[in-house]
Structure 1
Amino acid sequence: MRRIQDQRLSQFHQTLTYGSISVTFCNDYERHPHNTGCSGMATPSLTASTHTSVADPKPRLDKKPSLVTVIIFFAVLAMGLLFTAYSLMHDMHEMGAQLTTWTPFLLLGVALLIALGFEFVNGFHDTANAVATVIYTNSLPPHFAVVWSGFFNFLGVLLSSGAVAFGIIALLPVELILQVGSSAGFAMIFALLIAAILWNLGTWWLGLPASSSHTLIGSIIGVGVANALMHGRDGTSGVDWSQAIKIGYALLLSPLIGFAFAAMLLLALRAFVKNRALYKAPKGDTPPPWWIRGMLIATCTGVSFAHGSNDGQKGMGLIMLILVGTLPMAYALNRTMPAEQSLQFAAVAEVTQVALVKSAPQPLSGDPRPILSTYVRTKEPTAELVPALAALAGQIGEEVKGYGSLAKVPAEAVGNVRNDMYLSSETIRLMDKGKVGNFDADTQGKLQLFKQQIDNSTRFIPLWVKIAVAIALGLGTMVGWKRIVVTVGEKIGKTHLTYAQGASAEMVAMLTIGAADMYGLPVSTTHVLSSGVAGTMVANGGGLQMRTIRNLAMAWVLTLPAAILLSGSLYWLFTQLF
């Protein structure tokens, strides 16, 4: 009797599904204390969801970080700021710098905070691209993924070479580099950094993966053009266009490389690797098989490390420019160079002068510096160019030999010695690139050795600068990453990201950024990875969300002119205020 009653009652307890709405009925019997599955008689339950057997494939990004994580974040931030301040004070004390006025040090502090702020914004703006694939394939939990990425960004900065840092500086107007400690020099630094930060924050707020590298290059060009126009020259004369074009090619080709090679890598995987699990989208919150998970984590790690190594250098180069302008006695010359190496440098300068005099025996009357400055700015050689370079090389050799080592150069002479070295190095670089001089192999070899000695004396980055930038970039990785992650993970393709797609996009991004770092070229992590994801979507036949692609293309097209206009306008404004 009880069995018949249960069967009849079960007929009243059923779920009727209409599209995305399910209606559940129950009766009075089910209100029995031992049956808690229903709470009312014949009560319809409306649920705006699909069948319970289908899990939501999207990762949960709304989980708040724990209190311990927040405390650690702010503790590391405070320690980083204190470490930076201590390192500055220590270097000033070692050089015997006397504090006579607070103004330059306040400017230094503000400039350093802005430069580190640029790297912080760069962290959450660009590094979100690196973690999007591991998050959307359930390879790592979201918050653990960003901490993991931040740590390897930190390592990438610490182990970077510095080549990209000084490649960025080469884009700046030579007269502002030589007078970086002046009001115009500070106006340049503030304008290009603030313009880059504003544009990066704007595109981040809109969820657009725009390029921080693209933005910074545009800001530098804007300052150069504005500086030239304000001095009554042609706007194009304020930028080293050969270097800008070289960097422009890297920024232009990197997304095309990301798209094409990621697509080809995915097709190659499908042709040679027949494991079906690799080409499936994640099921709910289930992580992928261990070998796929390991591959995705490894590529994410590689992209994070390469991003830190490449993008972190841009901030380091600008920070060194700030330090040279405000504290030349401590940072204009590499005072850690041994005395024996300094004397070798002086000897190389002397033999270089002799070789140049043989190539152009006509004597130079007057100061060689204006001749070299004009050549570096205009790239137009004159008959006096080689004699001027010979004269300045001889003066540098005499100065270094007279002081005995770079550590003994007096504070009042440091700025002039560095400027002489910078002019000589840039002149040799441009002459070599333009095939100016028609030197024999012996003279050309001595010139390159002389340039190498100059670069060793002036192009250095203290360890504390690397650590400060690494902390800023690493901490920035852990803030504000969700907007960009959602765009890359959900809004580029029409289908969910598969394991093979994520691994292909990350692998190509890691190799492209790593190669660019080896050659000293700044490339965009954003462009390479987002275009790589798009390439895998096309290769997989899943299609693209054209609205997002149009927005990405608009951000890519508008970033350069917007940054140029913004930084140029800010530079003009700051020169009026300072």
Structure 2
Amino acid sequence: MDPFILMVIAILVALAFDMMNGFHDTANSVATVIYTKALPPQVAISIAALMNMIGPFLLGTAVAKVIATSIIPSEFLTIEMVMAGLMGAILWDLLTWWYGLPVSSSHALIGGLVGSGLAAIGFAGVKWSGLTKVILALLVSPVVGVVLGLVFMLIIGRYVISRMDKQKSNSIFKKIQILSSAAVSLSHGSNDAQKTMGIIAMFVAVTYGHSEPIIETWMIIACALAIGLGTAMGGWRIIRTLGERIGKEELSPSQGFAAETATALTIAVGSHIGAPISTTHVLSSSVVGTVMSGGTGVLNKKVVLNILMAWVLTIPVAAIAAALSYYVLMLVGI
């Protein structure tokens, strides 16, 4: 196939993954604000889509460069390998969306790239030192989310909620929760859209023989539009899981604010330092932290365990799906 045509097809697959990322992760920024009744669903999703489109322009491209250079060694890199990695991630995202499980598109992408690298080259097809750093960021961030969500909720409970009646407290937090929800969407766009930018930069570098991937303005614009469009479509199955099922009681506006603030701060720091963090994992963990402020007995442990199991399976299953996708691409001669 003509290299330019192959590059165009691969970029379209990357943008499809970016849209799927936004669709799958809509719940991250709107589930809490919808289920605390701070905003009507369509208004919340519209704001989230707009903020996701703005986010990629705010905090640089450090994460994109990490994705582009840290997983598959440049000397082995081919468009087919990366395209297969994307296909594996998309398949896992679709499966987990169907079951309403809030898993990480970031983990799925990492697993997909690892699987295609192994299928194409073997162990030398993965840059293990770079992969270790990426996975470390993905593992540490949910712990930070739980801790910050719990701490913020305890502070709010002691210094705000305890000093006013419930109705007034809910009214205040519903208003400021709109801002914290928008902050989550901004941070999500700033971190997750960069991952697709890094992928597209890899495609261009391979096609034109660049020594290293370069993030160009058109890549930022395309990824911002794709993730915003995906967010606007709204993944309702996952929204319901985050809003209704993690705790045995509905989220309060103060819990929503605490979880969103914890998530936005964690993701913004990750984007700034170039750490590819999962917004899904951090938001889910932050919600768990806020729910735990009332004691672990109020957690819906079965749902939490299902989410954790999906998290554990994401990288290996996406890797297997990507490896199979690579073999299919080779079979059909792409």
Alignment of 1:209-248 (within 5 A): 209-229=102-122, 235=123, 237-248=124-135
Bigger RCO (CA 8 Å, 6+ sep): 2
Determine if contact 1:279/1:500 at 8 Å carries over to the other structure: no
Q: Secondary structure at the match of 1:175?
A: coil
Determine if contact 1:208/1:484 at 8 Å carries over to the other structure: yes
Determine if contact 1:278/1:498 at 8 Å carries over to the other structure: no
Q: Take 2:134 and 2:41, find their aligned partners in 1: how far apart are those partners?
A: 33
Q: Take 2:163 and 2:15, find their aligned partners in 1: how far apart are those partners?
A: 45
Q: Take 1:262 and 1:131, find their aligned partners in 2: how far apart are those partners?
A: 17
Residue 238 (structure 2) pairs with residue 484 (structure 1): yes
Residue 319 (structure 2) pairs with residue 564 (structure 1): yes
CA deviation vs aligned residue, 1:491-517 (integer Å, no higher than 9, x gap):
000011011111111011000001111
Q: Take 1:172 and 1:555, find their aligned partners in 2: how far apart are those partners?
A: 25
CA deviation vs aligned residue, 1:421-462 (integer Å, no higher than 9, x gap):
x4xxxxxxxxxxxxxxxxxxxxxxxxxxxxxxxxxxxx5322
What residue in structure 2 maps to residue 202 of structure 1? 95
What residue in structure 1 maps to residue 219 of structure 2? 465
CA deviation vs aligned residue, 1:72-91 (integer Å, no higher than 9, x gap):
xxxxxxxxxxxxxxxxxxxx
What residue in structure 1 maps to residue 270 of structure 2? 516
What residue in structure 2 maps to residue 172 of structure 1? 72
Determine if contact 2:149/2:287 at 8 Å carries over to the other structure: yes
Q: 1:296 is matched with which residue: 167, 171, 177?
A: 177
Q: 1:321 to 1:540 in 2, by over 3 A?
A: same
Q: 1:277 to 1:534 in 2, by over 3 A?
A: farther
Percent of aligned positions that are identical: 43
Q: Take 1:324 and 1:198, find their aligned partners in 2: how far apart are those partners?
A: 26
CA deviation vs aligned residue, 1:25-79 (integer Å, no higher than 9, x gap):
xxxxxxxxxxxxxxxxxxxxxxxxxxxxxxxxxxxxxxxxxxxxxxxxxxxxxxx
What residue in structure 1 maps to residue 259 of structure 2? 505
TM-score (norm 2): 0.93
Per the TM alignment, residue 546 of structure 1 is displaced from its structure 2 partner at its CA by 1.8
Q: 1:551 is matched with which residue: 298, 301, 306?
A: 306
Q: Secondary structure at the match of 2:120?
A: helix
CA deviation vs aligned residue, 1:291-339 (integer Å, no higher than 9, x gap):
323320111111100000000001111111222333x2xxxxxxxxxxx
Alignment of 1:324-339 (within 5 A): 324-326=205-207, 328=208
Per the TM alignment, residue 127 of structure 1 is displaced from its structure 2 partner at its CA by 2.6
Q: Take 1:550 and 1:292, find their aligned partners in 2: how far apart are those partners?
A: 29
Cα RMSD (Å): 1.9
Residue 193 (structure 2) pairs with residue 312 (structure 1): yes
Per the TM alignment, residue 280 of structure 1 is displaced from its structure 2 partner at its CA by 8.9
Higher helix share: 2
Q: 2:155 is matched with which residue: 242, 250, 268?
A: 268
Per the TM alignment, residue 107 of structure 1 is displaced from its structure 2 partner at its CA by 2.0
Per the TM alignment, residue 160 of structure 1 is displaced from its structure 2 partner at its CA by 3.8
Matched letter for residue 47 of structure 2: W
Matched letter for residue 324 of structure 2: S
Q: Take 1:521 and 1:279, find their aligned partners in 2: how far apart are those partners?
A: 40
Residue 13 (structure 2) pairs with residue 123 (structure 1): no
Q: 1:503 to 1:278 in 2, by over 3 A?
A: farther
Q: 1:539 to 1:462 in 2, by over 3 A?
A: same
Alignment of 1:181-192 (within 5 A): 185-192=78-85
Q: Take 1:148 and 1:564, find their aligned partners in 2: how far apart are those partners?
A: 34
Matched letter for residue 182 of structure 2: T
Q: Secondary structure at the match of 1:271?
A: helix
Matched letter for residue 148 of structure 2: F
Q: 1:226 to 1:494 in 2, by over 3 A?
A: same
TM-score (norm 1): 0.55
Q: Take 1:189 and 1:108, find their aligned partners in 2: how far apart are those partners?
A: 11
Q: Take 1:239 and 1:573, find their aligned partners in 2: how far apart are those partners?
A: 20
Per the TM alignment, residue 173 of structure 1 is displaced from its structure 2 partner at its CA by 2.5
Determine if contact 1:278/1:500 at 8 Å carries over to the other structure: no
Q: 1:278 to 1:192 in 2, by over 3 A?
A: farther
Q: 1:112 to 1:503 in 2, by over 3 A?
A: same
Q: Secondary structure at the match of 1:521?
A: coil
Q: Take 1:172 and 1:278, find their aligned partners in 2: how far apart are those partners?
A: 53
Matched letter for residue 172 of structure 1: I
Matched letter for residue 512 of structure 1: T
Q: Take 2:241 and 2:29, find their aligned partners in 1: how far apart are those partners?
A: 12
Per the TM alignment, residue 159 of structure 1 is displaced from its structure 2 partner at its CA by 2.6
Q: Take 1:481 and 1:540, find their aligned partners in 2: how far apart are those partners?
A: 28
Q: Secondary structure at the match of 1:324?
A: helix
Q: Take 2:287 and 2:156, find their aligned partners in 1: how far apart are those partners?
A: 15
Q: 1:257 is matched with which residue: 126, 135, 144?
A: 144
Q: 1:256 to 1:280 in 2, by over 3 A?
A: farther
Q: Take 1:295 and 1:212, find their aligned partners in 2: how far apart are those partners?
A: 28
Determine if contact 1:279/1:499 at 8 Å carries over to the other structure: no
Q: Take 1:301 and 1:106, find their aligned partners in 2: how far apart are those partners?
A: 38
Matched letter for residue 241 of structure 1: W
Q: Take 1:537 and 1:473, find their aligned partners in 2: how far apart are those partners?
A: 29
Q: 1:498 to 1:107 in 2, by over 3 A?
A: same
